[in-house]
Amino acid sequence: MNYIENAKQYTGSELETVFFRPMLTGGSARELGVRILYNMPTPTYVQLWDGQRNILQKYADAGWSGGAAAAKLEKKIDLQRVKAEMGFAAADYFAMVCEQVTAITDLHLDDLTGTELEKAETELFRRALAENIRATMWVGDTSAESGYNTFDGFLKIVKQLVDDESVYNKTYQSADLASPEKIVELFDTLWTNADARMQDLKAEGQLAFFLTSDLCHLYEKYLDSKGVDAAYTDAVNGRQGLAYHGIPVIDVRLGSYLAQTSLHKSFCLLTDRRNLVLAVNTADMPGNEVRMWYNPDEMENRQRAVFMAGCQLLDESLVAYAYQQ
């Protein structure tokens, strides 16, 4: 057997349960580091309730003194219909799927059929699709002529807020971060200038510094410089996770993507994880599907996914941002 010719198609509930939900829930969702809404009704709205303060009052006679109703804010997430397509030479595709299968099972290569083969093909496509969704939710720009231009990502939204002077922002030059301890000064600057509401959210454990790899490496160099046994051990073995004063420090891993855009190439964003929302919908638009098939004319295996996706930043007051000019 040299080719994989069995066509596979996921629609309806299979599209959700077999393909997308494993990618957008549980551990996979946590790896993305943001809030994910999957298959919410379209158009997708997020309700923000402004909880009233000072509701305790002196107890008096009967009657209502609750005041006005709680204010409700609403943010719409514009979902764009997108598609992802990949094509492989049949021999290359066969080799990749074989490697995927043999890594997890004892199947004979002469009998590559059934559910194990389907799982391997699905995982191959799902992995590529998940990375492209992750990249687009950060660097997406619908005004770009090429590249990741299917929907606007968080950096495009934040850049617009910076241009409008709607959020606290600070600029820096590469020379400003010449020594590792400067990264700590940058963290402190964002924290001290953050909105008091965001500082109060620290106790809920959802605040995070999202930063590019250059700044993340600088922070690791700062930690390496500490003259303790733990710093030496971490320098040798690496660190599974970084944090500053209990706030996670997350490398967004966008170096290869940012180079192709007009967005800031180096940045640090302090916000609440729940403030960054990625919405994906595979249920409310006819024609949404995942399909994998063999094209005998081109001797090519092809994969296609059609769905809807979009991003939104819910509350601009919960943003503090620094970027390199």
**Per-chain mean pLDDT for the chain:** 87
Q: Which domain holds residue 33?
A: 8-50+72-324
Report the pLDDT value the prediction gives residue 112, as an integer from 0 to 100: 47
pTM confidence score: 0.86
Q: Between 156 and 14, where is the model more confident?
A: 156
What share of the chain has pLDDT > 90, as a percent? 58
Residue 57 domain-assigned (yes or no): no
Residue 276 domain-assigned (yes or no): yes
Which range (18-32, 76-90, 177-191, 280-294) has the least confidence? Answer: 18-32
Average the pLDDT over 5-28 and give the result: 86
- Collapsing DSSP to helix, strand or coil, 244 comes out as strand
Report the pLDDT value the prediction gives residue 73, as an integer from 0 to 100: 74
| Cα separation values, 110 from 72, 106, 107, 118, Å | 61, 12, 8, 15
Report the pLDDT value the prediction gives residue 51, as an integer from 0 to 100: 58
Average the pLDDT over 176-199 and give the result: 95
Residue 13 domain-assigned (yes or no): yes
Query: At how many degrees (to 10) do helices 213-224 and 181-193 cross?
Result: 120
| Cα separation values, 270 from 68, 122, 158, Å | 33, 35, 11
CB of 309 closer than 8 Å to CB of 278: yes
Indicate whether 304 pLDDT > 70: yes
- Collapsing DSSP to helix, strand or coil, 166 comes out as coil
Report the pLDDT value the prediction gives residue 74, as an integer from 0 to 100: 81
Q: What is the pLDDT of residues 37-61, one digit of tens each?
A: 999 888 898 877 665 566 777 777 6
Residue 202 domain-assigned (yes or no): yes
Report the pLDDT value the prediction gives residue 182, as an integer from 0 to 100: 95
Report the pLDDT value the prediction gives residue 149, as an integer from 0 to 100: 94
Distance, in Å, from the CA atom of 195 to the CA atom of 272, rounded to the nearest integer, reads: 12
Residue 2 domain-assigned (yes or no): no
Report the pLDDT value the prediction gives residue 320, as an integer from 0 to 100: 98
Report the pLDDT value the prediction gives residue 35, as an integer from 0 to 100: 92
Work out the pLDDT band at 91, boundaries 50, 70, 90: confident
Report the pLDDT value the prediction gives residue 309, as an integer from 0 to 100: 96
In the chain, the number of structural domains is 1
CB of 220 closer than 8 Å to CB of 242: yes
Report the pLDDT value the prediction gives residue 237, as an integer from 0 to 100: 66
Q: What is the pLDDT of residues 205-242, one digit of tens each?
A: 999 999 999 999 999 999 888 876 666 576 666 667 89
Distance, in Å, from the CA atom of 277 to the CA atom of 137, rounded to the nearest integer, reads: 9
Q: 133: closest CA among 36, 52, 205, 226?
A: 36
The sign of the CA dihedral 161, 75, 277, 143 is: negative
Residue 3 domain-assigned (yes or no): no
Residue 234 domain-assigned (yes or no): yes
Phi (first) and psi of residue 297, to 5 degrees: -65, -40
Residue 128 domain-assigned (yes or no): yes
Report the pLDDT value the prediction gives residue 100, as an integer from 0 to 100: 75
Q: What is the pLDDT of residues 96-133, one digit of tens each?
A: 887 877 766 555 554 444 567 788 888 889 989 999 99
Q: What is the pLDDT of residues 138-163, one digit of tens each?
A: 999 999 999 999 999 999 999 999 99
